[in-house]
Amino acid sequence: NAGVTQTPKFRVLKTGQSMTLLCAQDMNHEYMYWYRQDPGMGLRLIHYSVGEGTTAKGEVPDGYNVSRLKKQNFLLGLESAAPSQTSVYFCASSYSNREHYGYTFGSGTRLTVV
């Protein structure tokens, strides 16, 4: 049982390039989330999804797009990367919205934009 898998683990981009981060979960969770973590800032929610085909904005959505075409996958896209998007990105999933059963996080993607 893999849990939440993020690919790639590391990436270096040049300013203006685009890329997609993939998050896959095998727990049949309904809810999925993308966070970014910067030094001294804790985790900040970028976008989230409450089910297949749905997406919603979180706290810091600008410069990112997401898609949830399949229940098990949640993609985070950067159309034109900027140095301010250098960060560690974490994907998470959860089972229910009625009670909090605990989020399961991936191991993160470390992105550097030069």
Partner 1 sequence: LAKTTQPISMDSYEGQEVNITCSHNNIATNDYITWYQQFPSQGPRFIIQGYKTKVTNEVASLFIPADRKSSTLSLPRVSLSDTAVYYCLVGAHSGAGSYQLTFGKGTKLSVIP
Q: Which residues bind partner 1 (CB under 8 A)?
A: 4, 31, 33, 35, 40-45, 48, 50, 56, 58-59, 90, 92, 94, 96-100, 102-108
Q: How far apart are CA 25 and CA 104, in angstroms?
A: 9
Q: How far apart are CA 25 and CA 93, in angstroms?
A: 7
Which of residues 65 and 103 has its CB atom nearest to partner 1 in the complex?
103
Phi and psi for 77 in degrees, rounded to 5? -115, 140
Q: Least distance from C-beta 45 to partner 1, angstroms?
A: 6
Q: Least distance from C-beta 81 to partner 1, angstroms?
A: 22
